[in-house]
Chain A
């Protein structure tokens, strides 16, 4: 089983140092350096599969520029129209369609099931609708369905990935974590920005390297995170693994 990760930057799924459409791990000759969210995926997968996809080099990254390249190859006449209830999340749907297509091609190339995981923060700016998280998640699920990709997973924290980490490293770890979803999605918010709260706890800026080290040393147990947005991701992830186990490309 291969995990194809995509979304946001170095402090989320990670970065790709090469221009490849599917960026393999550095140890596999590619340029993919996994970020903290990729490590959470690896942790959950290892518990369920009895092997670490990262250790088994069964993990790759699809960068946003690779998604955009694929989109540009399509005719502009093929336009996706958002329904009013999905307005603002068409980007997520189209992204998931394209990632799903790449996952299917990768599955055919590698001869194994591929689980695409699309990460996106739910920033919640002033201009965002109240149901932004539901819209984004629903659009990603619909995108994977439209691509006929059976094992796609939406990984959408509410409001940001730092909230999931905060749940594990707060004063009393893993307690009342649902409240953390009420924090601001705006990094500039003086008291309610998850990034600032995380910085106060860790005593240093929570950049990608710091968070990767934190997760690698076992300070975050994703099985114990109990937050609606993480629970939705974990449930989807379990379902995707179930589907992928019986998927013979």
Chain B
């Protein structure tokens, strides 16, 4: 489980830290940095992919490398390096992965990197073009790479370091679906193991499901849409896959993905990720296209998911379906300080919010709190303290 992430110099995340629970819900005013946090997490996950290609990642977001750098960091951060620190639990161990990613076009890689246990035992150190595993001597990096050095080390090299393997797997499991777009989900796709940012490749992803996984997806969808019958994948020529939905209207209604409503398609994409894999899932504006009457069940499935889940939302109704204790732990308010830097605070750590919880539901408290003023008094208390 990923416990916390700290970043310096990534867009508005100039000097930023956030803690994560098994389920975390990001809230905040427009422009506070909710999407930026999801993008940053997706960025970190991509650094660790086996076939990491930072240019491809930038292209998928239509960014240039320099777009990642902070424009509000001041002199101190007017450099090309994004600094990061990720703390996670791997089995019984607590581990930190930290480093600096050089955004200059010829590099696009972590020029420094450390993986260590929280009590300071080194697992991987990368410095000055060399790397060291555990207590072993430093050796030259004699391979080309983008992203993380750890992403490129062969299994044979890592066979004595199961913790490093687990860290790599855990970070690479970060998957963002922050740009879910029904038009992309409706497209036919060729076989792939992962759905894209916009949901592209959904049909091919579901085609990789076992019978049990497909049954679980159907069951999850039926809990939300009682008239839903099944979702099937049809194989076309040359390996193309297409989704076909059956609903229990009249004698049964069968529709292709292009004719299915956008909300159902979004739900299929969300729930398919709860069925398969041990991923760290990111969903931006989870409420988009979802009917209010099924939000309760959707929230239950997200809170109880096997996977670690982060959602962002503007909807008080989403928050109101959280029980008070979950809300206290899980709701994180993002805001910008006077310099435009994104900060995070657990929303119910604000006295203005916590004193109302109980009499008001979490979503009602959110509606009834002057976020700007609450944050201003928090910032001034912090600067006085």
Is B358 an interface residue, CB under 8 A from the partner?
yes
Tell me the chain A residues, 108-163 only, with Cβ under 8 Å from chain B.
Answer: 125-129
CB atoms of B377 and A127 under 8 A apart = yes
Would you call B359 and A95 a contact (CB within 8 A)?
yes
| A76-B321 contact in complex given A88-B369, A94-B359, A94-B360, C-beta closer than 8 Å | yes
Report B235 CB to chain A, min CB distance, Å: 42
Mark B346-385 against chain A: 1 for CB-CB distance below 8 A, else 0. Answer: 0000001001101111011101111001101100100000
Q: Is the CB of B359 within 8 A of A127?
A: no
Report how far A107 CA is from B288 CA in the complex, Å.
46
Interface of chain A, main secondary structure: loop
B138 → chain A closest CB, angstroms:
53
Q: Mark A63-106, 1 if CB is under 8 A from B, else 0.
A: 01101100110001101111000011111001100100000000
Give the distance to chain B from A93, nearest Cβ to Cβ, in Å: 9
- The verdict on B317 contacting chain A, using a C-beta distance below 8 Å, is yes
Q: Which residue of A lies closest to B299 (CB)?
A: A76
Q: Which of B293, B352, B376 has the most CB of A within 10 A?
A: B352
How far is A129 from B365 in the complex, measured between Cα atoms in Å? 17
Q: Which of A158-197 contact B (CB under 8 A)?
A: none
Contact B360 A76 (CB under 8 A): no
User: Is B122 at the interface (CB under 8 A from chain A)?
Assistant: no
Contact in complex: A76, B367 (CB < 8 Å): no
Nearest A residue (CB) for B381: A126
Question: In whole angstroms, how far apart are the Cα atoms of A127 and B367 in the complex?
Answer: 15
Contact for B359 among A76, A87, A88, A98, CB less than 8 A: A98
| B320 touches which of A65, A76, A89, A128 (Cβ 8 Å) | A76
Residues in A whose Cβ lies below 8 Å from that of B360: 71, 80, 90-91, 94
Q: Please judge, given known A-B contacts A87-B370, A88-B369, whether A127 and B352 are in contact too, CB under 8 Å.
A: yes
**CA A90 to CA B324, docked complex, whole Å:** 17
Which B residues are CB-close (under 8 A) to A81?
367
B140 to chain A, nearest CB (A): 57
In the complex, A196→B296 CA distance in Å? 48
| Interface check B340, CB cutoff 8 A | no
CA distance A90 to B310 in the complex (A): 28
Q: Interface residues of A, CB < 8 Å — how many?
A: 25
Q: Which residues of B contact A77 (CB under 8 A)?
A: 292-293, 296, 317, 320
Q: Give chain B nearest CB distance to A134 CB in angstroms.
A: 16
> Does B316 count as interface, using CB distance less than 8 angstroms?
yes
- The interface centre, meaning the residue of B292, B368, B380 with most chain A CB atoms within 10 A of its CB, is B368
Which residues between 309 and 359 of chain B lie within 8 Å of chain A, taking CB atoms? Answer: 316-317, 320-321, 324, 352, 355-356, 358-359
A71/B358 contact (C-beta < 8 A), A76-B363, A90-B367 known: yes
Say how far B296's CB is from chain A's closest CB, in angstroms. Answer: 7
B152 CB → nearest A CB, Å = 48
Range of interface residues on B (Cβ < 8 Å): 20 to 34
A127 touches B374 (CB 8 A): yes
Q: Report which of A65, A68, A88, A94 forms a contact with B370, defined as CB distance below 8 A.
A: A88
Contact code string B252-296 (vs A, CB < 8 Å = 1, else 0)? 000000000000000000000000000000000000000011001
Q: How far is the CA of A215 from the CA of B340 in the complex (A)?
A: 52
Complex CA gap A80/B320 in Å reads 11
Task: List chain A residues, Cβ under 8 A from B293.
Answer: 77
Q: Which one of B352, B363, B377 contacts A79 once the chains associate, using CB atoms below 8 Å?
A: B363
Minimal Cβ-Cβ distance residue in B for A69? B358
Q: How far is the CA of A89 from the CA of B369 in the complex (A)?
A: 9
Contact among A71, A90, A127 for B368, CB-based, below 8 A = A90
Residues from chain A with a CB closer than 8 A to the CB of B352 are 125, 127
Closest residue of chain B to A75 (Cβ to Cβ) is B296
Q: Is the CB of A87 within 8 A of B368?
A: yes
Contact B358 A68, beta carbon cutoff 8 Å? yes
Q: Contacts A71-B358, A90-B360: A125 and B369 contacting too (C-beta < 8 A)? A: no
Q: Which chain A residues border B359 with CB–CB below 8 Å? A: 64, 67-68, 71, 91, 94-95, 98
Please report which residues of chain B, range 33-91, place their CB below 8 angstroms from some CB of chain A when the two chains form the complex.
Answer: none
A64 vs B356: C-alpha distance in the bound complex, in angstroms? 10
CA distance A81 to B365 in the complex (A): 10
Complex alpha-carbon distance, A72 and B321, angstroms: 11
Considering the chains assembled together, what is the distance between the CA atoms of A18 and B270 in angstroms?
46
Give A76 to B352 CA distance when docked, in angstroms. Answer: 21
Asked if residues A64 and B358 are in contact (CB atoms below 8 Å), the reply is yes
Q: For A128, list chain B residues within 8 Å (CB).
A: 373
Which chain B residues (220-245) contact chain A, with CB distance < 8 Å?
A: none
Chain A residue contacts of B367, Cβ below 8 A: 81-82, 87, 90
Do residues A89 and B368 form an inter-chain contact, with CB atoms below 8 A?
Answer: yes
Query: Taking the nearest CB of chain B, how far is it from the CB of A124, in angstroms?
Result: 12
Cβ B361 vs Cβ A127 within 8 A = no
Name the distance in Å between B292's Cβ and chain A's nearest Cβ: 8
B373 touches A127 (CB 8 A): yes
Which residues of chain B are near A64, meaning CB under 8 Å?
358-359
Set of chain A residues within 8 Å of B356, measured between Cβ atoms? 90-91
Nearest-neighbor residue (CB-CB) of A91 within chain B: B356
Task: For A65, give its contact among B358, B369, B380 (CB under 8 Å).
Answer: B358
Of chain B, the residue at the smallest CB distance from A65 is: B358
A87 to B352, CA, bound (A): 12
Q: Are B380 and A126 in contact (CB under 8 A)?
A: yes
Residues B377 and A125 in contact, CB atoms below 8 Å apart: yes
Contact sample, A vs B, 18 pairs, CB 8 Å cutoff: A64-B359, A65-B358, A68-B359, A76-B320, A76-B363, A77-B292, A77-B317, A79-B317, A79-B320, A79-B364, A80-B360, A87-B367, A87-B370, A90-B364, A90-B367, A94-B364, A126-B373, A127-B370
- Interface residues in chain B, defined as those with a beta carbon under 8 Å from any beta carbon in chain A: 292-293, 296, 316-317, 320-321, 324, 352, 355-356, 358-361, 363-365, 367-370, 373-374, 376-377, 380
Known: A87-B368, A88-B369. 6 other contacts (CB 8 A): A76-B363, A79-B364, A90-B368, A94-B359, A125-B352, A127-B377
